[in-house]
A = this chain, B = another copy of it.
Amino acid sequence: MNPMQRKASYVVAVVGASGAVGTEMIEILEERKFPVGELRPLVSARSAGTCLAFRDHDVLLHELTAQSFAGVDLALFSAGADISRKFAPLAVQAGAIVIDNSAAWRMDPKVPLVVPEVNKGDLARHEGLIANPNCSTIQMVVVLQPLHKVARIKRVVVTTFQSVSGTGKEAMDELLEESRDLLSFKEVSPSIYPHQIAFNCLPHIDDFLPTGYTKEEMKMLDETRKIMGDDSIQVTATTVRVPVYVGHSESVNIETQMKLSANEARALLAEAPGVMVYDDPAHKIYPTPIDVAGKDDVYVGRIREDESIPNGLNLWIVADNLRKGAALNAVQIAEALIAAAQ
């Protein structure tokens, strides 16, 4: 079932339009010339009534209510899992296709979890609701899939360096304020994070589970298996917040069934959609968050054979977590739905 109809233009709602990801979604819709007939930015009562610019016009921010989705073709949600749980079913009932950026339905077997470069085919079986994966998972699977196809990935050991924009705008403000205060020799008092984030690293993203893992770390296992469609892939993750505004970096160690040399991996990745190989250490070329912020591709560098096991590789993967890690991937899902409706 694919209720996305072929139309000249679509009524597009963006839920959480004033947030870090929502803002990026609207920019990307404009940038990619997505056929938006009407943009309906939906926000909390607190933010409603102000305007945002879209294609040189001011568009009013509306309060999100149960009635917001009348006539909506496509609703992009990025306002947290609670809002998604409450309002996404209403949007589907109203006839919209929902692409949800929260964790609310990602592991629901009836909901496709999609990264278009990896499992566009899963879109065919949607029932009105499609989940956008977690930022740190998206950028990893875009790079793993081309290697998995050829060499079968058995195990992944990943450590992340995640930027504060993954938490949201308030976290970006907190990093800014703490940095300023510390440079002026003032005390800081964290409110968004449990500890100081400026000039520090926090091995704590999302809530802790009784096992000692965070939910973020488990997403990297569960979502990777679902997107790549292979429950035999083992993943162990340590996720860390770093004082970076935009761009998540990942140190990824993989073990494959078949041997891949670093050159073979580089060649496979050079051909892979959505991947930019940026790997020339002799010339100090490797991706960093600063370089990759604002870019659409997932960048990979520091590709090395891991000599500690027979079939191992180390990779350094960096992407803009607001774009490919969230807003861009959601819009790419919508584009894939339209393409499939042709």
A contact residues vs B (CB 8 Å cutoff): 155-157, 159, 161, 175-176, 179-180, 183, 194-196, 199-204, 208, 211-214, 234-236, 238, 240, 242-245, 249, 251, 253, 262, 281-282, 284, 286, 288-291, 301-309, 312, 314, 316
A305: which B residues are within 8 A, CB to CB?
211-212
13 contacts across the A-B interface (CB closer than 8 A): A155-B308, A155-B309, A179-B183, A196-B288, A199-B289, A201-B289, A212-B281, A212-B303, A238-B251, A238-B253, A238-B302, A240-B249, A240-B251
Q: With both chains docked as a complex, state the minimum distance between the C-beta of A165 and any C-beta of chain B, in angstroms.
A: 11
Q: A195-B284, A316-B238 are in contact. Are A244 and B308 (CB under 8 A)?
A: no
A199 in contact with B244 given A176-B183, A179-B179, A236-B314 (CB within 8 Å):
yes
Please give, as numbers and ranges, the residues of chain B lying within 8 Å of A290 by CB-CB distance: 195-196, 199-200
For the complex, give the distance between the alpha carbons of A34 and B180 in Å.
39
A241 nearest CB neighbor, chain B only:
B288
Minimum CB–CB distance for A308 against chain B, Å: 4
Q: Which residues of B contact A213 (CB under 8 A)?
A: 304
Give the residues in chain B near A234, CB-CB below 8 Å: 307-309
Give A202 Cβ to nearest chain B Cβ, in Å: 6
User: In the bound complex, how far is the Cα of B180 from the Cα of A301, in angstroms?
Assistant: 29
- B201 x A157 contact (CB < 8 A): no
A253-B236 contact in complex given A202-B288, A203-B301, C-beta closer than 8 Å: yes
Nearest first, the 3 closest Cβ-Cβ pairs linking A and B are A234-B308, A159-B251, A159-B159
A281 touches B204 (CB 8 A): yes
Q: Is the CB of A157 within 8 A of B308?
A: yes
- Distance, CA A271 to CA B196, complexed state (A): 30
B284 touches A194 (CB 8 A): yes
Partner of A243, one of B155, B199, B302: B199
Task: Find chain B residues with CB under 8 A from A251 CB.
Answer: 159, 203, 238, 240, 251
A156 to chain B, nearest CB (A): 8
* Cβ-defined partner of A200 (8 Å) among B176, B201, B288: B288
Query: Assuming the A-B contacts A183-B179, A308-B234, are A208 and B245 also in contact, with contact meaning beta carbons closer than 8 angstroms in the complex?
Result: no
Q: Which partner residue on chain B sits nearest A307 by CB separation?
A: B236
Considering residues A194, A281, A305, which has the most beta carbons from chain B within 10 angstroms of its beta carbon?
A: A281
Given contacts A183-B183, A238-B316, A253-B236, contact A288 B161 (CB under 8 A): no
Flag if B316 contacts A286 (CB, 8 Å): no
Please tell me if the beta carbons of B308 and A242 are within 8 angstroms of each other in the complex: no
A161 interface neighbour in B155, B161, B289, Cβ under 8 Å = B161
Known: A236-B253, A236-B308. 10 other contacts (CB 8 A): A156-B308, A161-B242, A199-B243, A199-B244, A200-B244, A201-B249, A211-B305, A212-B305, A234-B308, A242-B242
